[in-house]
Amino acid sequence: MSDKGGTVKKLMYINRKAPYGTIYALESLEVVLIGAAFDQNISLAFIDDGVYQLAKGQNTEALGVKNFSPTYKALGDYDINKIYVEKESLQARGLNQDDLMALTYEDEDDDWAEKNSIHIVSTKEMSDILEQQDVVFSF
């Protein structure tokens, strides 16, 4: 789609909280999905307990709330494919990329090849990425 009539901004959504217990993670995800309609340059960051939002095998039965983690897998369909996870936050929680869901997108410019959306980055790299954004939303 074209950007006629407006400029494309770089928007980043930062997620720092565990998926359940507060409404932040779900609200952030919903805002991301709604905002995806506006054709902006969107990226997502997962820092601190926020990395748990992408954890594999979530089960919310005992909590009695909806497990919305499968919805992250739809992000690729919404052309959201820049997902940055802070390495230090994973390490501090004894996690690595294998503990996270595989999030992918299909690259329209490369014969719809399936590509990985998740990038594990250091704190330093994350701050560089943040530096480049026009707008940052913090959840």
Partner 1 sequence: MALDVGGKSVETDEEGYLTNRDDWDEEVAKAIAVAEGLDMSNNHWDVVNFLREYYEEYQIAPAVRVLTKAIGKKLGKDKGNSKYLYELFPYGPAKQACKIAGLPKPTGCV
Cα 97-99-100 angle, rounded to 5 deg: 70
- Alpha-carbon gap, residue 3 to 6, rounded angstroms: 6
- Here the tokens at position 99 are 């503990």
The reply on whether position 134 binds partner 1 by CB under 8 A is no
96 to 115, contacts with partner 1 by CB under 8 A? Answer: none
The reply on whether position 37 binds partner 1 by CB under 8 A is yes
Q: What are phi and psi of 84, to 5 degrees?
A: -105, 130
Of positions 67, 97, 104, 133, contacts partner 1 by CB under 8 A: 67
**Closer residue to partner 1 in complex, CB, 29/126:** 29
Name the residue type at position 22.
T
Query: 12 has which bridge partners?
Result: 43, 136
Instruction: Candidates 45-53, 69-77, 113-121, 128-136: pick the segment binding partner 1 (CB under 8 A).
Output: 69-77
The reply on whether position 33 binds partner 1 by CB under 8 A is yes
Question: Which residues in this chain contact partner 1 in the complex, by CB under 8 A?
Answer: 30, 33-34, 36-37, 66-68, 70-71, 73-74, 77-78
